[in-house]
Amino acid sequence: MEKTLPTTHLLIERLQTERLELVPFTLPTATAILEGKLEVLDDLGLQTDDRRPDTEALNTLPNIIRNLKLEARPTSFESWMIALRSNKTIIGDAGFKGLPNSSGEIDLGYAIIEEEQRKGYGFEAAHGLAKWALTQPEVKHITAKCLLANTASARVLEKLGMRETHRDSEMIQWKFSKGHYKFLQAASPALP
């Protein structure tokens, strides 16, 4: 039986932040990129360079493809490509691991290529997606994980207003509740 998604879960074409354009992956796009058929990006008005897709992106694509196959059509609760608005070059990816669970939680992740890190792009992309997600009625909480040693990612999550909920010898788990949405609205420029 095919799942029926509420109209709030229709695939969003793109999200724009001050400096970034976020374009949702589709199954054909993710599959083509994994197969090295980067001309698929031309149809989306995007481009890549010799920095992307990097090894981390290629290792992530099978998970993105698996998540896209779980739904009859993309829901915007999957992964998104992050491109610079100025030249449409892809510099990373961000997104969620599927629809909210029964507790209304979604898990946020993001990755920016090394050459573009420490410029605020990780926060800007995560903020844009979190802001959109928290307007969806089924979303009550956003969670995230980062390696204990990844202090830059931890700073991004703290800046988003997330709170640490658990820590072990390798990972820190984070959570942000819908009640903090007003903080998120004030944290960054408005999205179009």
| Per-residue model confidence (pLDDT) at position 88 | 94
Tell me the residue ranges of DSSP E strands in 25-170: 79-84, 90-96, 105-112, 141-147, 163-167
Where in the chain are the domains? 9-139
Judge whether 117 and 150 are in contact, CB under 8 Å.
Answer: no
What is the spatial distance between Cα 68 and Cα 78, in angstroms, rounded to a whole number? Answer: 7
pLDDT tens-digit map of 137-183 = 999 999 999 999 999 999 999 999 899 999 999 999 999 888 765 55
In which band, very low, low, confident or very high, does the pLDDT at 185 lie, cut at 50, 70 and 90?
low
Q: How confident is the model at residue 145, as a pLDDT? A: 95
Summarised one tens digit per residue, pLDDT across range 49-81 is 777 777 787 888 898 898 888 887 778 898 999
State the chain's mean pLDDT as an integer: 85
Worst-scoring range by mean pLDDT, 10-14, 77-81, 185-189? 185-189
Give the CATH class of 9-139. alpha beta
Q: What average pLDDT does range 16-20 have in this prediction?
A: 94
Residue 152 pairs with which residues in a beta bridge?
none
